[in-house]
Amino acid sequence: MNKLLNISIRFYSSKIMLILRDTLKMMFPIMLLGSFAEVIKGAFLTPTGFMATLFKITKWLPYNRDLAWIMGSIFHCTIDMIALYGAFGAAYYTAKVYGRKSAAAGAVGLLSFLIISFQLSDSGMPNFSPRLMSEGMLISLVVGYVCGRIMVKLVDVKKDELFQLIKPVAVVIVLSAIINMIFGLVGRLEIPTYVASFVTQHTQINALLYVLGMGLLTNLLSWMAFGGPFTNSPSFSDNASLANMNAALKAGSAWNVPFKFTDTTLYHSFANFGGTGVVLAFIIAILLFSKKVNNRRVSKWSIFPAIFNNNYAMMLGIPILFNPIYLIPFLLAPLVNMILAAVLLALRWIPAATYPVPAGTPGPLIAFIGTNGNWLTLILGVILIALDVLIYMPFVKLADQIVEEAGVTDEEI
């Protein structure tokens, strides 16, 4: 633990961490408001949403479609384009740290990422990669940092900056265009489809190991601000889920489904409370054990979206992203949950979640509703959250200690 403490203190005090921390802090209010909009639209204003189904909101709330359109617009311009803000922020704060004009660097970082994500649609109209815009924050941060360093290297503050910008902007444009061509050749790998086919074509023990591995990979990539193989919410539309649902409907029970170990029955049902990394338990741990006012404030603001499995605000506000302190519990808590749930499924103490759940269903209720109201799955969910809080507890205390050792005031986090 002392070794982790020393490494974390050095990392936390580095220029890279300063740039990253300032960038994420700038993006936090954008992501927070986008999270609220996404939850309100998906869970409250969509007819198939959890709260809308429970309280029939769309039947009695006036102008609910207009409100849903507004929330959707906010969501698409914030979370769905979050990488764009990351490119600007990383370039801006990189130049600022190295004593250069930061506004120009931010604009160059923005330009670079737009070129990289540019796609020509079939209609000939300009388009941008939705995957890069919404899930490519890691790429955008690297792009922004490189653009910032190019500006630092090629711009002399003692000379007229206007004409000096031509050279670094030209370099950035050429490099960005080359990267765009490379991304176009690589294309998009359909990992979710492959995951579903693996589960249905292999033995249950191999399927279990595969789901555990893919769940671990999803959380790791999420910590690195990159989309993973598992989606944010269960779809119940892959082959394994459809086979389970058909078997449950025929038998009138979810106890004897053919595929017990899938992303739906394990990852989404027991390892995604509050979003990837079981962030709902992390919020509880901070509110119980952290003495840092800023962390507690961020957690309180993030409770509402986290209840409906949206963890974006916590990922940037604490931050969890790229933070070595929280990597271990962020990976360990969901893995422990999946293993314990798999054991109980194998022992037939609980049935598998096979029935579709409304959009935005709170994490602890997914297994309960997905099993048609099996109370043991709900009790298990509560126990797992309590266990996850204990897993996060020492790291929350360690983070407080690191911040103090690094000499960062509570207001600067």
Q: Model confidence over 363-381: pLDDT tens digits?
A: 999 999 999 889 999 999 9
Percent of the chain with pLDDT over 70: 87
**Residue 126: Cβ within 10 Å count:** 10
Two tokens, residue 264: 């739906």
Burial of residue 4, with CB atoms counted within 10 A of its CB: 0-12 exposed, 13-18 middle, 19 or more buried? middle
Least confident range from 8-12, 170-174, 344-348: namely 8-12
Report the predicted TM-score, pTM, of the whole model to 2 decimal places: 0.88
Q: How far apart are CA 44 and CA 65, in angstroms?
A: 11
Average predicted confidence (pLDDT) for the chain: 86
Residues 68-99 pLDDT 10s: 999 999 999 999 999 999 999 999 999 998 88
State CA 43 to chain mean position distance.
18
Percent of the chain with pLDDT over 90: 57
Note the pLDDT of residue 380: 95
> 283 and 298 in contact (C-beta within 8 Å)?
no
> Alpha carbon of 333 to those of 147, 239, 310, 341, 394: distances in Å?
36, 28, 17, 12, 13
Tell me, rounded to whole angstroms, the distance of Cα 195 from its chain centroid: 19
Of the candidate ranges 21-35, 116-130, 290-304, 397-411, the one whose mean pLDDT is the lowest? 397-411
Report pLDDT digits (tens) over 204-255: 667 888 889 999 999 999 999 887 788 667 777 777 888 888 888 888 878 8
Tokens 């490099």 identify what position? 175
Residue in 276, 310, 319, 27 with CA at minimum distance from that of residue 144: 27
